[in-house]
Amino acid sequence: MTEKSFEKALADLEQIVDKMEKGGLSLNESLSLFEKGVKLARFLRGELDKAEKKIEVLLKDEKGEIQGEPFALPEEEAESSEGDEDPDSGGNQDLPF
C-alpha cells in the first residue's frame, strides 16, 4: 500500500465487502477480492495502531506515564460489557474462591 490514505483504504474495503455480500462471483473473483480485503484490513489495523501510539505519546505526563484510560472502539466496549457478571450477584456461590 503505497501512500494510501486511511479513508481511501476503508472505502475500498467497504466496496469489496459489498461486492462479496451481493454474491454471484466466481471462486477466483471471490478469492481475489478476499485477498485484497485482507491486505486492506491489515493496512487499516496498522494505521490505527500508529494513531493509538501517537495518542499515547501525547497523553504521557512528565514522568512518562500515560494519564487517563486507553480508549476503546464502541464495538470493544460493547463486547467487554457483555457477559460481565457482578461477582456479588449470587452466581457461582459454590466456588471456594
Domains in the chain: boundaries: 1-61
CA distance 97 to 29: 54
Nearest to 70 by CA among 87, 45, 48, 86: 48
Q: Which position has the higher pLDDT, 17 or 69?
A: 17
**1-61 architecture in CATH?**
Orthogonal Bundle (1.10)
Percent of the chain with pLDDT over 70: 59
pLDDT at 13 > cutoff 70: yes
- Between 4 and 78, the higher pLDDT residue: 4
Q: What is the dihedral of CA 30, 33, 38, 43, to 10 degrees?
A: 180
Angle formed at CA 83 by CA 45 and CA 67, multiple of 5 degrees: 50
Give the model's confidence band at 1: pLDDT under 50 very low, under 70 low, under 90 confident, else very high.
Answer: very low
Segment 71-78 mean pLDDT:
62
Q: Which cell is 82 given?
A: 457483555
